[in-house]
Structure 1
Amino acid sequence: MRAFFEKIPAIEETSFLARRILLSYFDAPLHYHPEYELTLILQGNGKRFVGDSIENFEPGDLVLLGSNLPHFWRSEKTFYENKEPIAEAIVIQFSIDFVKNIFEKLPECKSIIKMLHLSKSGIRFPVMFQTYLEKVVEAHGIKRLILLIDLLGNLSQTSHYQLLASEHFNIKPDDVENERMRKILEFTLDNFQNEISIQAIAEIAHLTVPSFCRYFKSRTRKTYVDYLNEIRVSHARKLLIDSELGISQVGLECGFQNLSHFHRIFKNQVGLTPLVYRRSF
């Protein structure tokens, strides 16, 4: 996995890209691009990274990404063992010029402009808009453009949305910083079920421990330990819903060596104990 600036290809006779993607698994690296992006997961599950947000994703996950917002989707490890295409998504991408030439010149699109401004943090919408995206992908010509405007208009009117990255998220989109963060994310994802010392992760980032702590917090507004616990709790939520493992075993599977510590961290993040969370499903 290599962090990079993604160049979105231009296609003649269309002002934006809309396509259906079918893969064996989602494995795009940490990347960013100037274009806005709307992604709907149709098949597959795993973890979604948007800025400093880490959440599980599953079919129906719909996210709007702002310009130059680092992101990637990563399938669960079980997907890598299956050679049949089982990961599917609809992706719509449109440029800043597209926004300036259409939405910014039309007073009727004020709500869309406001939504696009919020998308600098990434926005998750309810699954109710899936049919809209499918129609955009299937349409052609001027109808396709009208359907996209209608889709964005409806998204901008809903009050049921969730901002993803924190307000002060500050990873600048340059190759050196993204490469360093890529190494940190990759190592954390591959090893969060085990004990990770600050010394070990600092060496991955080629920094001293004090420098690493300052570096990580200045860009994510949280400590590395808090970030690591977010990944572990995210995985725990999935196991509590999808598996029959006991609560203590779930904690161990997610890298928590102490059951009381697992309960405390889980409740602090989710607002419920692991048992109550499982019963709620």
Structure 2
Amino acid sequence: MQPWFEAVTIPERQSCLVYDRRLPEFGFNWHYHPEYELTLTLGSRGTRFVGSDVAPYSEGDLALIGPNLPHAWHSHDLADGAAEHRAVVCWFTESWIRSVLRVMPELGPISALLAEAEGGVLFGPAPQIRARILDLCDLPLAERALRLTGILLDLSQQTDRRALSATALAPEGLPRDQRRMEAVLAYLHKNLDAPIRLAPLCALAHVTESQLQRIFRRSTGLSVSAYVTRLRIGRAATLLARTDQQMSAIAEQCGFHDAAHLARKFRQTAGTTPSAYRRDFRSRGDPCPEGGFPMRK
């Protein structure tokens, strides 16, 4: 679907804009803007969409999004002990950060981080950095700009980080008819446990099969079958982590032919078997995002 253009207005005498977003839930808001965005998500679990990447997020999710990269966080439920869905979002322009780097060569490592952010960057656990991002909300403007620069420098030196989207999806390359893609995606999410055929999807979108595949890939970066597999693996991962159901029961609920089919697709997608994923997940004691997609490291 076509991402919405979000107009981010950074006041003329400010280097960045910080917004402490608190909502009953985060709906799917597929959008883009020319500013960099550093987002710390708190209090919720759900699915993160960045370019062609679809993956789970949970409490403390921290990502840097590059200019004009479509993205969305869709919450499914509250994290344990949380009372609201919260995200601290910091926007800054490329012209500002580049001007800072020109006059302060000591900040050179930030340049590499900005390049990585073209496809989005996800950071691993870094409690001190997350605490400093939270403090941005209450700092005077001058201190806020200095703090943000320091945070970006620290993030550029974090070895526990990975790229999100393999390719940056240009908004102008996406289809314009958003409503037909929303109908297709809603159908897929609702009917994951049943065989997915193209004919009903084409009827919803009023296009031919070849047109649907082309539109779908431009919109999501994936084929219909690859997208459905990701959703099914995400649901299976949730059931593996949260229940003691047998593999055959999980396979049936997630639209796989049988346990062997589930195991094959799970290994191809996550790089491990369902049984190993369940055992490893429970040994770590991590919270499980609803519908979380177990990405390869």
User: TM-score w.r.t. structure 2 length?
Assistant: 0.82
1:77-88 equivalent positions in 2, closer than 5 A: 86-88=84-86
Q: 1:218 to 1:178 in 2, by over 3 A?
A: same
Identical amino acids, percent of aligned pairs: 29
Aligned residue for 1:18? 18
The count of aligned residue pairs is: 275
Q: 1:203 to 1:88 in 2, by over 3 A?
A: same
Aligned residue for 1:253? 253
1:1-281 equivalent positions in 2, closer than 5 A: 3-11=3-11, 13-76=13-76, 86-128=84-126, 129-167=129-167, 169-173=168-172, 176-177=175-176, 179=178, 182-217=182-217, 222-281=222-281
* Aligned mates of 1:178, 1:30 — CA distance in 2: 14
Cα pair 1:56 1:235 within 8 Å, conserved: no
The one-letter code of the counterpart of 1:137 is C
Stretches of structure 1 lacking an aligned partner (at least 5 in a row): none
Q: 1:199 to 1:125 in 2, by over 3 A?
A: same
Q: 1:93 to 1:191 in 2, by over 3 A?
A: farther
Stretches of structure 2 lacking an aligned partner (at least 5 in a row): 282-297
Cα pair 2:124 2:161 within 8 Å, conserved: yes
SS at match of 1:91: strand
1:92-123 alpha-carbon deviations (Å, 9 max, x no partner): 11122222332344322322122111111111
Cα pair 1:3 1:178 within 8 Å, conserved: no
Cα pair 2:2 2:175 within 8 Å, conserved: no
User: Residue 135 of structure 1: CA displacement?
Assistant: 2.2
Aligned residue for 2:293? none
User: Residue 252 of structure 1: CA displacement?
Assistant: 2.6
Cα pair 1:104 1:113 within 8 Å, conserved: no
User: Residue 64 of structure 1: CA displacement?
Assistant: 0.7
* Aligned mates of 1:152, 1:158 — CA distance in 2: 10
User: Residue 60 of structure 1: CA displacement?
Assistant: 1.4
Q: 1:51 to 1:143 in 2, by over 3 A?
A: same
* Aligned mates of 1:10, 1:171 — CA distance in 2: 23
Greater RCO between the two (CA within 8 Å, min separation 6)?
Answer: 2
User: Residue 278 of structure 1: CA displacement?
Assistant: 0.3
User: Residue 154 of structure 1: CA displacement?
Assistant: 0.6
* Aligned mates of 2:28, 2:103 — CA distance in 1: 34
* Aligned mates of 1:182, 1:157 — CA distance in 2: 39
